Chain A
């Protein structure tokens, strides 16, 4: 029982850290975007203000059960991802669920939320929501291919499907996987563009054409939960990437540095790019990223 409580406490702490870091990263992104556009931009804590305001807004209406549950689904996915990913390697502060799942499980739990959210968005009855969902799902089919290829390459090279196994492999050899399996890293990073949905892959929300897509009927608390889920998810995914490719992080500072560095790749790429159409986006992912994924698998087979 105590162990369970301890676990829950650890999970809560992890969640808070993830929330704060994710929100801050979001704010920083806005700031950086503004600076790139030669604006002053909002303060880096702007996202916190927005979130708090949303949480304080009244939520008077809903469109049905699934609409109510949608944000919760989304949160499940984010938090579960967070819990399965080892946040800090080499210490057992936040073991969470690390030892109960593996990468394939992670891949699936990551899709849980968007789909649940899609159901919620569907029930609002707003056509824009459904269009946004279809775009999002299409894009997912796109980027999952290089992403899975990269993961499979890692798995077969190190004969394990667990994240901790891969981290151990890095610790033993002392080389980050992004150097020992560069193609896998490239493919995974390219897939990450789609995962974070910054432009040119922001086809889901696309405020100018879809009125923010799936979330268009959600305000107030709904939006708050979604926003925080997004932040947590961002953090979880970044952590996953650095666990897989950059040797993990032994303390929070290194974690922040590594994740921030990685995070800037899609952000900076996004600021300078216009938006793709859906099929262009999907095909983009099936082009070079998949090619790199193939190279990664070939490399893994050779080096196995």
Chain B
């Protein structure tokens, strides 16, 4: 297939060109960057038909690229979010330093993610996986804050995952002698039980790291919050989905074929559930929007993991739908934070308040994102949540559903914190000068917001490709018995019909809104937020009345016993121990030449003593 080569050539060439175009002029650079992302996107969706493939070989290894329905679904996420985030980036990066660096890594990330999705063999999968890892690592350390800790933590976790995957790949290769995923799947049935268990574990380790699953999630908050927001929207929205992508494939093709009694899925699902709960609780505690969204991403990925690891039809659809939704709303929310960061210079809830009248479009996008995130009807997030609950209940995961419900209810707390912290509350004088973000930033956000609304009523738009993808993976067609364009069913036949609900909601809402505004909008007049009943006190203009410090304190007190245990601390302890060990090891090299000579003698003596064993 020609198109694949062209797409990747454009990506690579464009990335390098964009990098160097910064020396010429920033406008050229912007245009080149946009072209580098948008042209391949166009080419991919117009020129690549599902089912096409491109075999070739490298270093004596035969490789295969191709698109199937399932991959297409994820390429939709990657390229869709990628293009929007690219448009957003142009506005976001205006006037920032190291733009070339940013654009280069951005393009490389998008390219590698697309590569992952179209890889039909393990080697190119791994190569793209690693490119994705290091390009995202370079983005994580973009700001230069705390790179030694956060960046390296991210990379080490990624590397542990990736190396686990590499191990699995070469083990598979030693059995099958090819690297094709197809062959791996076929040979899996004939492997020994030990391999059958270990190979999925190793693969899932890699995917779980990227999907920020519970004990492996500690990199996520730092990484998400330290990358530039324009990238984080892609990072959290699309890049983490690659973990989900891999997970689905492994779960469907391997874990499904494990003999009964191995609780693979259960363990995974519970880990996902715990991830969701803990991520939510930690998100509530954060005062920094980036951190909050980062933990929230961890939590949301937990839901997705739960969905895909339960693995019934409905659960799989729920997981994948949530994945799409998560890409949308988390992409939007990170963009919102980016816009706020650009306009105000900070992302801390305790500093920024009352932006709603200054940045109304941003607020709209944020509102849509938050409603979708909270899973409240009539936006798309609800569809995913609904399917997830129903699938958990119908597949006998009673306690898990409680855990999930707990975390999604608790999610309201941070959702509210996000909206309140930035947009609502007192309008302080300090932020009176803030303007709405530039159009290139607002348009992608608002577009995604609108798309979320549409998806809330017509989820069939996304459920259709998901269904096709799942059919690729061997599931039966679920149209008409699990979903229709705007109806969703569970496997017991209960359903939610979305259109009348939407219309009712809108009707009621408009009716009462008009009632409140009975005598016309002119009748009620806007007064500033300083005009509040504060015991008759007159707040001065520069007096900060905003309530934002210790926002969810009572709740945090209630859950304090759970929060006391931090995974991070254990890892830090472990790492410190290791460094101590390393320090001890290097003392072997004492610096005394005679000692080294003694080592030589001792070596000979030892080898001679054990020569019967060794040789």
Q: Is A261 at the interface (CB under 8 A from chain B)? A: no
B410 in contact (CB, < 8 A): yes
Assembly CA distance A72 to B515 (angstroms)? 9
A59 and B524 contact, Cβ closer than 8 Å, known pairs A97-B504, A111-B412: yes
A62 to B356, CA, bound (A): 14
A249 at the interface (CB under 8 A from B): no
Q: Which of A20-28, A31-39, A138-146 contacts B (4 or more CB under 8 A)?
A: A138-146
A168 interface contact, C-beta 8 A:
no
Query: A222 to B508, alpha carbons, bound, how many Å?
Result: 15
Residues of A within 8 A of B376 (CB): 108-109, 111-112, 115
Determine whether A180 belongs to the interface, using a CB cutoff of 8 Å to chain B: no
Number of A-B pairs, beta carbon distance below 8 Å: 229
Would A61 and B526 be within 8 Å (CB), given that A111-B412, A225-B512 are in contact?
A: yes
Verify B554–A277 contact, CB threshold 8 A: yes
Is A61 in contact with B524, judged by CB distance below 8 angstroms? yes
Q: Report the bound CA distance from A141 to B374 in whole Å.
A: 13
- A221 lies within 8 A of B515 (CB): yes
Identify which of A134, A160, A165 contacts B552 (C-beta below 8 A).
Answer: A134
| A191, B360: Cα distance in complex, Å | 38
* B365-390 at interface with A (beta carbon < 8 Å): 367, 374-377, 382, 385-386, 389-390
Nearest-neighbor residue (CB-CB) of A300 within chain B:
B398
Q: How far is the CB of A3 from chain B (nearest CB, A)?
A: 11
Task: Give bound CA distance, A160 to B495, whole Å.
Answer: 10
> In the complex the two chains form, is B533's CB within 8 Å of A278's CB?
no
**Per-residue interface assignment for chain B, residues 221 to 265, with 1 indicating a CB less than 8 Å from any chain A CB and 0 otherwise:** 000000000000000000000000000000000000000000000
Residue of A60, A97, A124, A160 touching B494 (CB-CB under 8 A): A160
Q: Which of B128-136, B298-306, B423-431 contacts A (4 or more CB under 8 A)?
A: B423-431
Is B406's CB under 8 angstroms from A301's CB?
Answer: no
**A156: B residues at CB distance < 8 A:** 393, 396, 398
Contacts of B509 on A, CB cut-off 8 Å? Answer: 69, 72-73, 75-76
Contact mask for chain A residues 55-87; partner B; CB cutoff 8 A; 1 contact, 0 none: 000011111111011011101100110010000
Query: Within 8 Å CB of B515, what residues of A?
Result: 221, 225
Check if A200 is an interface residue, CB within 8 A of chain B: no
What class of interface size applies to chain A in its complex with B?
A: 35 or more
A125/B504 contact (C-beta < 8 A), A64-B356, A105-B386, A140-B409 known: no
Instruction: Type the 1/0 row for A157-184, where 1 means its CB is closer than 8 Å to any CB of B.
Output: 0011110010000000000000000000
- The reply to whether B512 and A138 contact each other, CB–CB distance below 8 Å, is no
DSSP majority for the A interface?
helix
Task: Determine, out of A147-155, A233-241, A250-258, A265-273, the stretch whose residues face the partner at the interface.
Answer: A147-155
Decide if B546 is an interface residue (CB 8 Å cutoff): yes
Closest B residue, CB atoms, query A285: B558
Q: Which of B354, B360, B504, B554 contacts A135 (CB 8 A)?
A: B554
Most buried by B among A127, A211, A277: A127
The docked-state distance in angstroms from the alpha carbon of A59 to that of B113 is: 55
Assembly CA distance A160 to B494 (angstroms): 7
Chain B, 491-545, CB within 8 A of any chain A CB: 492, 494-497, 500-501, 504-505, 508-510, 512-513, 515-518, 523-534, 545
Decide yes or no: A144 and B406 within 8 Å by CB, A115-B376, A133-B416 being known contacts: yes
Q: Is B413 in contact with chain A by the CB < 8 A criterion? A: yes
- B492–A161 CB distance below 8 A: yes
Give the size of the chain B interface in residues (CB under 8 angstroms).
75
- Residues on the B chain within 8 Å of A145, using CB: 402, 405-406, 409
With A134-B413, A144-B405, A155-B393 as contacts: A221 and B356 at CB distance below 8 Å: no
When distances are taken between beta carbons in the complex, the residues of chain A under 8 Å from B526 are 61-64
Nearest CB of B to A294, in Å: 8
Q: Which residues of B contact A108 (CB under 8 A)?
A: 375-377, 382, 385-386
Contact of B377 (CB < 8 Å), options: A61, A62, A68, A109: A109
Taking a contact as CB atoms closer than 8 A, the residue among A59, A123, A149, A211 that contacts B533 in the complex is A211
Among A66, A130, A160, the residue within 8 A (CB) of B547 is A130
* Distance of A101 Cα from B496 Cα, bound (Å): 4
Partner of B393, one of A97, A161, A225, A282: A161
Are B508 and A79 interface neighbours, CB within 8 A?
A: yes
Question: Are A71 and B555 also in contact (CB < 8 A) when A64-B526, A100-B496, A115-B376 are?
Answer: no
Question: Whose C-beta in chain B lies nearest to the C-beta of A140?
Answer: B409
B129 to chain A, nearest CB (A): 36
Contact (A122, B512) CB under 8 Å given A108-B385, A127-B546, A152-B402: no
Chain B residue nearest to A155 (CB atoms) is B393
CA distance A10 to B530 in the complex (A): 44
Other-chain contact of A141, B375, B393, B409 (Cβ < 8 Å): B409
Q: B569 within 8 Å of A by Cβ?
A: no
Chain B residues near A279: list those with CB within 8 A: 554-555, 557-558
Q: Are B533 and A126 in contact (CB under 8 A)?
A: yes
CB distance from B84 to the nearest CB of A (A): 26
Q: Are B533 and A97 neighbours in the complex by a CB distance under 8 Å?
A: no
Q: Say yes or no: B354 contacts A68, CB within 8 Å.
A: no
B545 and A217: CB pair below 8 A? no
Shortest Cβ distance from A68 into chain B, in angstroms?
A: 6
With A68-B517, A145-B406, A160-B492 known as contacts, the answer to whether A137 contacts B413 (CB < 8 A) is yes
Known: A64-B357, A72-B516, A115-B415. 6 other contacts (CB 8 A): A61-B524, A97-B501, A108-B382, A141-B409, A144-B409, A161-B492
Q: List 16 A-B contacts (CB under 8 A).
A: A60-B525, A62-B524, A63-B527, A64-B529, A71-B512, A80-B501, A109-B377, A125-B424, A125-B427, A134-B555, A145-B409, A152-B401, A161-B390, A162-B494, A225-B515, A300-B398
Closest 8 CB pairs of A and B: A125-B529, A122-B424, A278-B554, A127-B547, A279-B558, A138-B555, A282-B558, A100-B497
Which residues in B have some Cβ–Cβ distance to A below 8 Å?
354, 356-357, 360, 367, 374-377, 382, 385-386, 389-390, 393, 396, 398-399, 401-402, 405-406, 409-410, 412-413, 415-416, 419-420, 424-427, 490, 492, 494-497, 500-501, 504-505, 508-510, 512-513, 515-518, 523-534, 545-547, 551-552, 554-555, 557-559
